[in-house]
Homo-oligomer: A and B are copies of this chain.
Amino acid sequence: MKRLSKNRIFGGWHERYSHQSTSTQTEMVFAIYLPPQIGEGQKVPVLYFLSGLTCTDENFSTKAGAQQYAAKYGLALVIPDTSPRGKEVADDEAYDLGQGAGFYLNASQAPWAEHYRMYDYIVDELPKLIEAHFPVTEERSIFGHSMGGHGALQIALKNPNRYASVSAFAPIVNPIDVPWGKKAFTAYLGEDKTAWAAYDSVQLLGHAQNVCPVLIDQGLSDSFYPEQLQPEIFEEKAEKKGIPICLNLREGYDHSYYFIASFVEQHIVFHAKYLGLL
């Protein structure tokens, strides 16, 4: 693991690392924010943030203003990249497939299957690495934006014992039914749609026995709503199963980090509560 940078912010440290990933067989970069509490010898829980299409670890790190609340409530933030990257890694010219668009799944189809194993990376490899190298506990929560909201929800739904809570800004909840998801799943998982359901949050919710607390925010002026983003379908399925989730529809807000910044404190407070920090 190689440290790429270290910046002080809100009394803690924002650091970037690269490491050779066994999941993706590429060099991966992630960012971690270590709040001031670790300087006092405390171990803190970890909140993972999964970013959307085209992003790296840097978008959320520089634009969301989240470190302030991680410092206030005493948790670490971990912000991974959105796909494997490099000259040897398959790619596509479109912004919504290939590098920057890993969709947090394990691909089964050529040419993607070799490196596109973001599901294993996020669920298993990265937490092991983080918990071995930083002063953190094994308590985890997860949130994300857009494609990363899809990532956070489907990961938390399949691993209810690994995450205390999950939240999402403008998530893709039903990728099997919307253009972004259909395109990516066809490429990464093939034409057989039976494989798709394992990564579809609405489908997963239908089968789930045990669901951690869920918070979703959606801007009503988001240009991808409701064509790609249909959180009401997730809410409806949850209601049918008697699972309480919180969905906030936000008048005037769009898909940008200005929207995320406006509500990131509420999301961090939500996770802090279930991580036992409040």
Contact = CB atoms under 8 A, between A and B. Distances in A.
A63 B58 CA distance: 11
A7 B254 contact: yes
A10 interface: yes
A9 interface: yes
Contacts of A257: 62
Interface stretch (A90-98, A110-118, A239-247, A258-266): A258-266
A253 interface: yes
A221 B258 contact: no
A65 B260 CA distance: 11
A9 to B, nearest CB: 4
A65 B65 contact: yes
A221 B9 CA distance: 12
B254 A8 contact: yes
A9 B261 contact: yes
B65 A14 contact: no
A259 B262 CA distance: 20
B7 A261 contact: no
A137 interface: no
Interface in A7-40: 7-11, 14
A9 B62 contact: no
A254 to B, nearest CB: 6
A265 to B, nearest CB: 9
A68 interface: yes
A54 interface: no
Contacts of A254: 7-8
Contacts of A65: 65, 68, 261
Contacts of A262: 8-11
A23 to B, nearest CB: 29
Most B CB atoms within 10 A — which of A7, A219, A221, A259?
A7
Interface of A: 7-11, 14, 62-63, 65, 67-68, 219, 221, 252-254, 256-259, 261-262
Given A8-B254, A65-B65, 14 more contacts: A7-B254, A7-B256, A7-B258, A7-B259, A8-B252, A8-B258, A8-B259, A9-B258, A9-B261, A9-B262, A62-B62, A62-B257, A63-B63, A68-B261
